[in-house]
Amino acid sequence: MTRNIDIVACPALYQYQRKGGTVVLIDVLRFTSTLTTALANGALWAEAYPDADKALSLKDEGYIAIGEHNGFIIEGFDYNNSPVTMTRENIGGRKLAFVTTNGTYTRSLIDTYDAIYAGCFLNGNALVQRLLEEHNDVQIVCSGHRCKIGIDDLLVAGMIADRLLKSGKYTHNEDAVSMAQTLYNVAKDDIKSFILSQVPWFEPLFVENPQYKEDFNFALRHDVFDVVPEEESPLKFIVKQ
């Protein structure tokens, strides 16, 4: 049976496109990349919250608080939303509580689903293989930038859609899927240069924040981790063994 792919290009559109099935949440810069790296490096689980107060309250229960607001670490948190800091030494064997400007906010909007996975370039192959093993329609939800469309997340959505469609097991009837797939195929030989050439505010961000530049370079690597973060219960991401 052929399954269907749909892409929600930004959070503002989600209310018009609730479809259920398997939802893939994307915030490549940086929540889903940071989450994937953390779980690949031995974190027990990670919970995603839309506001800082809940995450901070969990520190008394032994959680590590990870997050940012507008790119900067939240006061009282242990780490910024940075994949390069998610080393086994820093977070191995620990419980994590995340709050981010775009990714965890977008997760808070998703209310119609059978399963939720986190996707990024780092786990693209593992995620696609998981989806190919299932029999659900797939809805890819991009976190974008402050509720608007972000090229970076659309590129990940395009990569996933491209691989699923080439399998012959998926089809689509939405323009957003064709747009994202085309965008990815135009950019895939040098995604970093493509993003820098198309998004004017990225380059100044690198100058002002060297940590973000390191995260950017890290998050654009393809198929590094063989893990798929998935929700065991609402807001709680794990990697099933």
pLDDT band at 207 (very low <50, low <70, confident <90, very high): low
Q: Which domains does the chain have, with CATH numbers?
A: 3-234 (3.90.1560.10)
Structure tokens at 135: 């029999």
Say yes or no to pLDDT of 209 above 80: no
pTM, rounded to two decimals: 0.96
User: Mean pLDDT score of the chain, rounded to an integer?
Assistant: 94
Please state, in angstroms and rounded to a whole number, the distance separating the CA atoms of residues 170 and 163: 9
In the chain, the amino acid numbered 212 is Y
pLDDT recorded at residue 184: 98
pLDDT recorded at residue 150: 94
pLDDT in tens, 93-122: 999 999 999 999 999 999 999 999 999 999
For residues 208 and 25, which has the higher predicted lDDT (pLDDT)? 25
Please state, in angstroms and rounded to a whole number, the distance separating the CA atoms of residues 92 and 81: 16
Query: Roughly how many angstroms between the first and final C-alpha of the chain, as a whole number?
Result: 28
pLDDT in tens, 133-177: 998 999 999 999 888 999 999 999 999 999 999 999 999 999 999
Phi, psi of 169 (to 5 degrees): -95, -5
Q: Which residue, among 84, 69, 114, has the nearest Cα to 216 in the 3D structure?
A: 84
Q: What is the mean pLDDT of residues 29-36?
A: 97
pLDDT recorded at residue 85: 96
- The three-class DSSP label of residue 68 is strand
Per-position b or e across 16-49, b if 16+ CB within 10 A of its CB: eeeeebbbbbbbbbbbbbbbbbbbbbbbbbbbbb
For residues 208 and 160, which has the higher predicted lDDT (pLDDT)? 160
